[in-house]
Chains A and B, each alone.
Chain A
Amino acid sequence: MVLQETEETPAILYIDLHLIHEVTTPQAFQSLRDQGFSVRDPNKVLATMDHSTPTLPVKSLRDLDIVAEKGPADQIRDMIRNCEEFGIELHGFDSDKRGIVHVIGPELGATQPGKTIVCGDSHTSTHGAFGALAFGIGTTEVGHVLASQCLLQRKPRTLAVNMNGALKSGVSAKDIILRIIQKLGVDGGVGHVIEYRGSTASILSLEERMTICNMSIEAGARAGMFAPDDKTFNYLIDKPMSPKGLAWDQAVEKWSTLVSDDNCEFDKEIDIDVDHLSPMITYGTNPGMAIQIDDIVPESNSDLGYKKSLNYMQIEAGRPLLGKEIDVVFIGSCTNSRISDLEDAAEILQGQKVANGIRALIVPGSQAVKKEAESLGLDKIFESAGAEWRESGCSMCLGMNGDTVGNGQLAVSTSNRNFEGRQGKGARTILASPKTAAASAIAGSVEDPRKYS
């Protein structure tokens, strides 16, 4: 903290790691140019290309013009130019470290407990899985951080999510967070930072914790976090940017203190029963409109827009979603594109076929995840099942890189937003775990993954 907040002015918070990508930075770099500022510390910036970047193979800028439309291609060129001009290392097309910004941060060990981490992307909350304070900012603030390495902030309120019990077979971390958002509502976390706690917290792997923290923003929370523990340290110990030798021991000693006090009080608390959790799916046009996979879609409530939402989805209240025919399955995004997510999908798709007429797209979160998946033979499992296997990127999560769900088509997607048209104009989205998505791909309709476990 550079400066404490007062009634008149917010705190000046020092930012330890700034993640940037091609979509929310061009105007920030331009404002630096306009005001004659440089980037204060290029070494604290981690730059990649993921959002508007195609997932078809691109080896050179000439390939890019063939694969991508003009807008995205220009944006990518702009990113390359900006990083060169301001002295920032960019993990571009030729880098084996490229990938979705929230996948590569942890993978490289840039994400560490206790760090303040920001990015012009709301899913920056992902990094809270390591006990970092990580949240999304707008482009003006991206400019502030580039120029000053600082951000103006008011202290947030605190929210405890107490999770108890262990996941049953066929149920995943994705189902936990969908249940949390259903319970909190899409604005239940506004103004708060969530701490995920309880007996479940210590059992979950770092990748599972990332899936949960990732969607904190879908409950309106700025950030979500888990207390760092031995699992966190074991994840980070061999990562390229992690401290080494004596510095590692000192870091672990410091990180071990980053836990809430036993008797601390939160502004708000909720409890989640993980023992009795079933796979969750969404039926509406925000992530809070979720049900257990074998439940029926609730009757309309008084919420402004509920009917509009179901009309858009062409889904009827009072009926189950299980068995509803789908068109597309997407497995990927910063929520569910890590190696354990792909392993979950592969376990179900092994020796099976994607149903006739279903397009199944599987997109690894980073080039490193892609390489690991291929070394495990997962790509072969996916391809023999009839799914497409791509280069890393945000892909179909947000429909701005060439990968979209068609107008009117219904997708089961492991991404984080089922907003109207999120995956493409007129696209309809059911959010689910990789297990549910894989099971649905085989069935050609919404399917319970417990059938395969």
Chain B
Amino acid sequence: MEKIIQFSSKTVVLAVNDIDTDQIIPARYLTVTTKDGLGEGLFADWRFDESGEKVEEFPLNQEKSSGCSILVAGSNFGCGSSREHAPWALVDYGFKAILSTSFADIFKNNALKNGLLPLSISKEFHRMLIENEGTEITISLEKMTIESSNGMTETFDLEPFSRYCLMNGVDQLGFIMKHEDQINAFENKG
């Protein structure tokens, strides 16, 4: 897995609370057996109209959001279904971080295992980002900060083990497998 230390991007804003994983990727895109190309289904029913044309006013479809790798969204992002296809689709589309005031547990877990940062930020910083779409920001996993081009700096928390794995490009399964003796002992204890 690729190491993540620091990156910068302009933001794209989806100012809606409780965006569920059915919106992030509708179930009809889930009848696949690989992770490839799921970005096509990202926000499919919000990005495209009934005839399959792009919905112009949808933030991701606007010229200015092209190349943005940081999405700012409303609270409780990623609620609902446990489908990991949601972070796969976000990553495949080009996102590296989602900033919100809160995340659903399973989505957060899934995102962290795919190099996608689900970062909880303060209400004040969130409001600033919602009001200023396209703000250039730099996220540093090393310093645990988000610096914006308008001079504001926000710090964030991240579960230490996930942070370690992301910064070192380490797969979490390796940690479990290193404890095989303990797993055997646990099983033998019955």
Contacts and interface: CB of A to CB of B under 8 A. Distances in A.
A27 B84 CA distance: 10
A400 B22 CA distance: 12
Nearest to A188: B76
Contacts of A308: 16
Contact of B22 (A69, A78, A422): A422
B121 interface: no
Contact of A191 (B16, B18, B82, B105): B105
A138 B22 contact: no
A24 B176 contact: no
A421 B81 contact: no
B160 interface: yes
A420 B109 CA distance: 24
Nearest to A189: B105
Interface in B65-119: 74-76, 79-84, 87, 102-106, 109-110, 113-114
B33 interface: yes
Given A140-B114, A141-B113, A14 B183 contact: yes
A282 interface: no
Contacts of B113: 138, 140-141
Interface stretch (A3-11, A351-359, A365-373): A3-11
B32 A75 contact: yes
Interface stretch (A92-100, A142-150, A330-338): A142-150
A131 interface: no
Contacts of A218: 80
Interface in B1-58: 15-18, 20, 22-23, 26-28, 30-35, 45, 50
B159 interface: yes
Contacts of A51: 30
B157 to A, nearest CB: 13
Interface string A69-89: 101101100100000000000
Given A26-B33, A122-B80, A136-B106, A148 B177 contact: yes
Contacts of A399: 27-28
Contacts of A30: 33-34
A152 B161 CA distance: 10
B26 A421 contact: yes
Contact of A186 (B31, B34, B76): B76
Contact of B172 (A72, A78, A152, A305): A152
A138 B82 contact: yes
A143 B173 contact: yes
**Interface centre among B20, B76, B106, B164, by most A CB within 10 Å?**
B106
B33 A75 contact: yes
A150 B183 contact: yes
B176 A419 contact: no
A75 B31 contact: yes
Contact of A398 (B27, B32, B172): B27
Given A12-B176, A140-B113, A407-B50, A304 B16 contact: yes
A426 B23 CA distance: 12
Nearest to A5: B161
B182 interface: yes
A102 interface: no
A422 B183 CA distance: 40
B179 interface: yes
Contact of B82 (A71, A74, A136): A136
A147 B175 contact: no
B184 to A, nearest CB: 10
Contact of A187 (B26, B76, B187): B76
Contact of B30 (A143, A144, A400, A421): A400
Contacts of A75: 31-33
Interface string B138-172: 00000000000000000000011100100000001
Contacts of B104: 187, 190, 220
B173 A147 contact: yes
Nearest to A303: B17
Contacts of B28: 399-400, 425
Nearest to B34: A27
Nearest to B130: A304
A286 B18 contact: yes
A350 to B, nearest CB: 34
B179 to A, nearest CB: 6
Contacts of A137: 82, 106, 109
A169 to B, nearest CB: 32
A121 B17 CA distance: 22
Contacts of A187: 18, 75-76, 79, 102, 104
13 contacts: A2-B186, A14-B187, A30-B33, A30-B34, A52-B30, A78-B33, A140-B84, A190-B76, A304-B17, A305-B74, A419-B20, A421-B22, A421-B26
Closest 4 CB pairs of A and B: A71-B31, A26-B33, A138-B110, A138-B84
Interface of B: 15-18, 20, 22-23, 26-28, 30-35, 45, 50, 74-76, 79-84, 87, 102-106, 109-110, 113-114, 159-161, 164, 172-173, 175-177, 179-180, 182-183, 186-187
Given A138-B83, A144-B176, A399-B27, 14 more contacts: A8-B160, A12-B183, A14-B183, A14-B186, A27-B33, A52-B31, A120-B84, A136-B82, A152-B161, A186-B18, A218-B80, A220-B76, A400-B28, A421-B23
